[in-house]
A and B are shown apart, each in its own frame.
Chain A
């Protein structure tokens, strides 16, 4: 990029007269999507939605239809029959119930405890704050998968294997949640507000419940949705620790065990497992998008 007097003159002169018109025109040209953009994004959206559609299609045919050389591309008549078979082979309703319990419990604890800790790190002054927050941030990138061996040993000792608590407890709080809520509260909550409450004689608890929680609600919602999704979709850990009373992902992965695996029935099962989250996505899509982009600052 060159600069200097020449450029200044060149751009400054027309700007005096034509500025508004030219600006808006350039904006339109440079930043408005052309037809090709719509086509590419539309195709991408189709590609992203296709596997779900295909599970509906394949789950509604018989397996012989599926692989006879002309794969069906439209839904067939057998969806409910296949779903019934899936429910028969794995108790999916019970599994859905367990997943709901786990996901709701994890969501509640994550929101509550991470907001409390996030608030403390964002607004309170206390000894050891930086060190403790440093530990929290340092563990952000450590994948939980690496802890499954000792966690299994711990859960065995506690007698919690095949108990839903063994899935809830490790997911109950996340370092990401604390980090996320700290960022959110630092932004959303002016120091003066807390100071004012304190001057007015409110206890810390009262400040938290009457001021911090209401103001942090949007952040809490995003964190809650992300926590719910993560808990609902988790597979490896529940697969190890609650195999006898499986969550929905474990149950779906186990459809057909002991039977001749019937791909149509399995896919009908995945439809059952996926619908709740697609509903969540449809309702809270915007919040999830916000949560993902906010998560990007953690690096």
Chain B
């Protein structure tokens, strides 16, 4: 390996901080400084991550057992009061329910569309790079901008774009923000718009790692395009699909910007039609000013998220146990590889 030195700039130049004469002590480089270095490299990350990532998480749990008001003095131990309030609160069950329904009507279409789009993107074609980049435009657009624009498209008046389109096919104008399902559907449309392309790209990467000979074998066996999609692509994508399901269900528990800005701020609609968990947490903490209660909501959400992750892990294990061949090949995470063009 010595031949490497001149070409890689790793020339044996004496380092300024070398304690002894640089030429004489080469191998002992593996000394204490060398062994300590990794800790120095991970230290800034763990300091910042610990202070602003891990610690707040634990502190949430602590706060959820405290009576603590916004702008109030110090937290006071309150036992399970916050949880008792939470589980006795209709608003909480409403927000759980709305999180679930909006989650379903946004996640399911989003992933189905994404699967179809990925299938199309996987063909050889011209302007392929353009189509792929068009997939990330919604993802790159801020949710604030997207929600404001969609809010105007889904305006309640008869003159709103969506209502005019509905008028063309003879449907009466819809009062989008006021209805229960109409508001949820409008929000789901925003979510679907924002994430479909993102998921399509993930599926596309999964599809490209399915060995080509599987398709050729299927074609030889007389399977048409659709049967190939059903019997080769879908099984091959199973781990990827599972991954996106988990990501988007976790995402569904985190919806905030869309419902918050869709109907002019807090409340989640006059009837709480779209008051999802995060919105409920925000209102409890920063508008009602009950930080302890808001922390309890965060903890319940955290438990839901952890359950989702564990469920995913369990399912993934079940899936792989009956397959000797790993269906998700070690996808090379090299972001610049040519295949992702």
Q: Which residues on A are within 8 Å of B, measured CB to CB?
A: 1-2, 7, 11, 26, 30-34, 37-38, 40-41, 44-45, 47-49, 51-52, 54-55, 58, 66-71, 109, 113-114, 116-117, 119-121, 124-126, 129, 132, 135-136, 139, 141-154, 169-170, 172-175, 178, 180, 183-184, 187-188, 192-193, 195-208, 210-211, 218-219, 222, 229, 232-233, 235-236, 240, 249, 252-253, 261, 263, 266-267, 270, 273-274, 277-278, 280-282, 285-297, 299
Residues of B within 8 Å of A47, CB to CB, are 193
Report the minimal beta-carbon distance from B257 to chain A, rounded to whole angstroms: 5
Given contacts A145-B278, A294-B333, contact A193 B4 (CB under 8 A): yes
Closest 5 CB pairs of A and B: A299-B243, A67-B159, A290-B335, A285-B133, A204-B37
1/0 contact string of B1-13 vs chain A (CB within 8 Å): 1101100111111
Residues of B within 8 Å of A142, CB to CB, are 57, 302, 305
Given contacts A119-B41, A120-B38, A200-B5, contact A249 B149 (CB under 8 A): no
- Tell me whether A71 and B161 are in contact (CB under 8 A): yes
Given contacts A37-B123, A173-B45, contact A1 B250 (CB under 8 A): no
Given contacts A30-B215, A296-B206, contact A49 B336 (CB under 8 A): no
Q: How far is the CA of A3 from the CA of B315 in the complex (A)?
A: 30
- Tell me whether B137 and A113 are in contact (CB under 8 A): no
Residues of A within 8 Å of B153, CB to CB, are 51, 54
The answer, among A153, A195, A261, for a CB contact under 8 Å with B291, is A153
Which residue of chain B is the closest to A129 with respect to CB atoms? B38
The answer, among B198, B294, B312, for a CB contact under 8 Å with A149, is B294
Report the minimal beta-carbon distance from A207 to chain B, rounded to whole angstroms: 7
- B327 interface residue, CB < 8 Å from A? no
Which residue of chain B is the closest to A288 with respect to CB atoms? B136
Q: Which residues on B are within 8 Å of A, measured CB to CB?
A: 1-2, 4-5, 8-15, 17-18, 22, 26-27, 29-30, 33-35, 37-39, 41-42, 44-46, 48-49, 51-57, 59-60, 62-63, 68, 117, 120-125, 129-146, 148-153, 155, 157-161, 164, 193, 197-198, 201-202, 204-206, 215-221, 225, 239-240, 242-243, 246-247, 250-251, 253-254, 256-257, 260-261, 264, 278, 281-282, 285-286, 291, 294-295, 298, 301-302, 305, 309, 312, 331-337, 340-341
Q: In terms of DSSP, what is the predominant structure of the interface of chain B?
A: helix
Which residue of chain A is the closest to B54 with respect to CB atoms? A139
- Tell me whether A184 and B335 are in contact (CB under 8 A): yes
The answer, among A126, A175, A199, A203, for a CB contact under 8 Å with B49, is A175
Report the minimal beta-carbon distance from A6 to chain B, rounded to whole angstroms: 12
Q: In terms of DSSP, what is the predominant structure of the interface of chain A?
A: helix
The answer, among B10, B29, B254, for a CB contact under 8 Å with A145, is B254
- Tell me whether A113 and B15 are in contact (CB under 8 A): no
Which residue of chain B is the closest to A37 with respect to CB atoms? B120
The answer, among A1, A233, A240, for a CB contact under 8 Å with B218, is A1
Residues of A within 8 Å of B221, CB to CB, are 1-2, 7
- Tell me whether A45 and B131 are in contact (CB under 8 A): yes
Q: How far is the CA of A270 from the CA of B153 in the complex (A)?
A: 14
Q: How far is the CA of A47 from the CA of B260 in the complex (A)?
A: 24
- 15 pairs, CB–CB < 8 Å, chain A vs chain B: A26-B216, A41-B134, A69-B158, A124-B38, A150-B295, A152-B285, A196-B2, A235-B144, A274-B145, A288-B133, A289-B133, A290-B340, A293-B205, A295-B202, A296-B206
